[in-house]
Structure 1
Amino acid sequence: MNARSHAIFPKVNRAGWIDTFRVITTVMAPTVAKGVIIRRPAMERLAERRGFDTSAVKQMQRLKNKYGAAPLLLPIPFRPQLLILDPADVATVLQSSPEPFAAATAEKHAALAHFEPKNVLISSGPRRAKLRPAHEHALATANRLHPYSLHFKSVVDAEFRQVLNGIGFNRPDELDWPAFSQAWYRVIRQIVLGERARNDITLTETLNELRGRANWAFAAPVDQRKLALFHRQVGGYLAEPEKHSLISRLPDGDELAPENQVAQWLFAFDAAGITVMRTLAVLACHVSCWVKAVEEATGADLDRPFTRSCLLEVLRLWPTTPVILRQLTKDIKAGGRIIARGTGVIIFAPFFHRDPALVYANRMEPSIWGRNDALPSAGLVPFSAGPIICPAHNLVPTIASLAVGTFLSAADIVLLQPSLTVGNLPGTLNHFDIRLRLTARRKEK
C-alpha cells in the first residue's frame, strides 16, 4: 500500500461497466448537453420536455440503492471518476478542498481556458493562495452586505424600473427572458466594470462567443484572437476603474492577471439572472411566499433574508451549477482500495437537492435556510461550501434579492408560462420560455 495514501472514506465501491455507461448517458451527457458554461436554449427545452433532470436523479437513487451510500468509483478509461452518494461525503470533500480535493480539475481547465486561462478556479498552490484573497476583498466575501450595496441598489432600481416602463419585446405588460436578460447584463456590467460599461453590448457578445466555445471544452481549440480581444476590452475598464465598481477593489498590478479574474464575475452573474427569473416565476404562483417577499421589497432594509432564502430554494430546486467537480491531488485509501491521484470527484447537486426522502424535495421551503447559504451535511450547497466556497456567496444573493425586490415593490405578477404546481415543482424549469404578466401596483394615497 502506498505510504503516501491518506484514509478519507471508510469504503469506496466500484460500479460495473453497464452502470458506468448509464451514468454517462443519463447523468453526465444531458448535463453537458444543456451547456455547462452557457446554456443552450434548444437543449434546455428538450430537457424540460423529456424530464432529463428527473431521470438523472432517479438513476442516482438506483445506484445508491444498489451499491450503498459509499462513494462509487466509475472506471471510465483514462479518466476514472468518484461519484459521491452520501451527504456526509459531500461535506467531507468540500471541507477538504483544495487539498486533497482540488477545484482545478482537468475538465475545468479545458473549459475555462477559452476565456479565463489564469483564473483562480483553475489555479493551484501558491498561485491560488495569492488570487483568492483578491477575489474575497473585491467581492467582500465575509460580509453579509457588500460595502457598495446601496450603490448597487440604485443601479438595479434604475435598470429594472426602465424595464417596468416598457416590458417585453412586442408584448406590452409581459416580461420575457430577452427583455429581462438585456437589462440584467446592463446591471452586471455596471456593477463589475462601472457606468461606462452600461451599454457595452459588444463586450458581453464577445464573452458569450467564448463561452459558447468553452461548452466544448477539450473538443474545441481556444480562439486566441477572440480571447485577446476580450481581455483588451476588459483591460480598458481596468486601466481607469470607476468608483463603486467591483474592479475598483482589486489590487493594482498585472501579476493577478485581472482580466482573467473579472471574466469569471461577468460569467457567473449570468446564472444569478437565471435564478432571479425563476424566482419571480415561482413567487408569482406561491401566495404565502409572495406576501412575505413583497413586505421585504417595500421595506428600507437592504438585507432581505426571506427573499434570499427564496432564491436559495430556487437554486436548490434548479441548481445553476448542477455538478461540483474536484480532483485528487494525492492517492487516498478507502478500505482495501487505493484511489489514485488525478481521479475526478463528482458531486451531482440535484441528487441531494431533490432527494425523495426530503419532505420538501419538490416544493419551496425557504425556512430550511435560516441565515445559512449552505447546508453541507444535507448536501445542499448552491454556492459550494468549505474553504473554497464561492467568494460571491454573499454578493450574488444580495444583488439577486434587490432585483427581485424591484419588481415585487412595483408590480403584481402573473405567471403565464409555464404552468407550475407549487406542491410538486418540475425537475427542470427552462428560463428561456418563462413569461410573466406584470401589472403596475397602485400606490395607496
Structure 2
Amino acid sequence: MEGLLPDLDVVRKDFPILSRVLAGADGGGQPLVYLDSANTSQKPQVVIDTMVDHLERHNANIARAMHQLGAEATAAYEDARDKVAAFLGAPDRDEVIFLKNATEALNLAASTMAWAGERQVGPGDEVVITEMEHHSNIVPWQLLCERTGATLRWFGVTDEGHLDLSNVDDLINERTKVVSLVWVSNMLGTVNPIGEIARRAHEVGALVVVDASQAAPQLPIDLAAMPEEDRPDLLAFTGHKVVGPTGIGVLWGRRSVLDQLPPFLGGGEMIETVTMERSTYAPIPHKFEAGTPPIVEAVGLGAAVDYLSVLGMESVHRHEQAITAYALDGLATVPGLRILGPLDVAQRGGAISFEIPGVHPHDVATVLDSRGIAVRAGHHCAKPAHQRFGVQSSTRMSSYLYTTPAEIDALVEGLEYTRSYFKLD
C-alpha cells in the first residue's frame, strides 16, 4: 500500500509488546491488534533500554549532586531537552519546559494567567476555546474564568466535524486575552487550522495556546519555520503518545511569554535566592521545574523523539494517512456504522470515533477484546464533543506508525462479528 513506512515488519519488531498473544473468548490465543494509540502509544525497545540503562548506571538527582553520577544524570536530562527542542523546531532550547504531562502544562498556562502582570486575565476579558477540546483544555480555562471573572467563549463544530469559523471575528475580539485550542482532535480526528486562528488572535493581542497531544505523534512540527504571526505562543504535548513513557509532558513557549508568566509551583531548583522575607526566581526553563523532575522519564522521552526523528515525521505522517484512509474505507463497509468527524483523510488524524446503533460502545470494545483487538470506548474525555453529535459515548480506533492493513482488516471483521453477535443483521 502506497504511503506505508518502508520495512514496516522491521519497525514492528522494535515494539516488543506487539508480539503478545492474548487470551480469546474461546480460550485460545489471539494475537494483539493494538488500535488504541491515541490513548497511549506503545514503546520501542530503545526507549525501554535507555530508561533501564539510566536507572542501572546513571541514577542520581540532577543539578544538586557534585559527583559523577549527578553530572551524568544532569547531562542526560538536559540532553533530552535539546532533543525535544530539535523535535519541535524550537528556536531556543530553554523554551522547553518538562512537566508530568500535557494536562499539567495546560494548567500551568491557565493558572499563571490568573496572576501574571500584563498577561493577567480579569473581569471583562474573554477566553476562547472550542467545543472539540479534551477536558484538559476545557476545565483549566473554566477554573481561570471562575477565579478571575473573565468570560469563557468557544467555537462550535459543524456537522462534518470542523470548527465553525463563521463568527471568528466576533469570537476573537479586542476583549480576547487567550485562545486555546487543540491541533488534532482526540475524538473527531479533525486537524484544525492553527495558523489561521493564531493570526487572527495575534491581530487583537491575544495569546495562543495549542494542545498538540495528538499532533506531535503524527504531524511534522517546525516552530521556527512557522510565520511569526501563525506560531502559537504556548504549545503542550505529552510523552506517552510519542512512543515515550508516561509521567513526562512538555510545555514549549515563546521566551518573551514565559518570562512574563510567574512561577507555577514553588520549591527547590526554581529559585535564584531565598530569604525568610522573599524569594527571587531562576530564569526559564528552571523557573517552571520546581522540585525533583521526572528525570528518567525525560531521558526516555529523548530516546523516543530520537526514534521518531530517525524514521522521519514526514514518513510517519504519510503512514498514518495511508492507514487512516484504509480504515475509513473499511469502516464504511460495516452496515449502520456512523463515523464522527471528517471523512476526508487529508483533514484528519488517525483517531476515528464511531457508533453502531443498537450496541453500546463498551459492548463493542468487549467483543473486540475477546478477539485480541484493543480499542477505546467511552467519552474519551471529550463530553462536549459527544454531546454536539447527540451521543453519550463512542468507540474509537486509533492507528499509529506500527499499524498494518491486516490489523484494520481484523477490526472490520471484528465489527461484523459484533453486529452478528448482537443480532443486528
User: TM-score if structure 2 supplies the norm length?
Assistant: 0.28
Which protein is richer in helix relative to its size? 1
User: TM-score if structure 1 supplies the norm length?
Assistant: 0.27
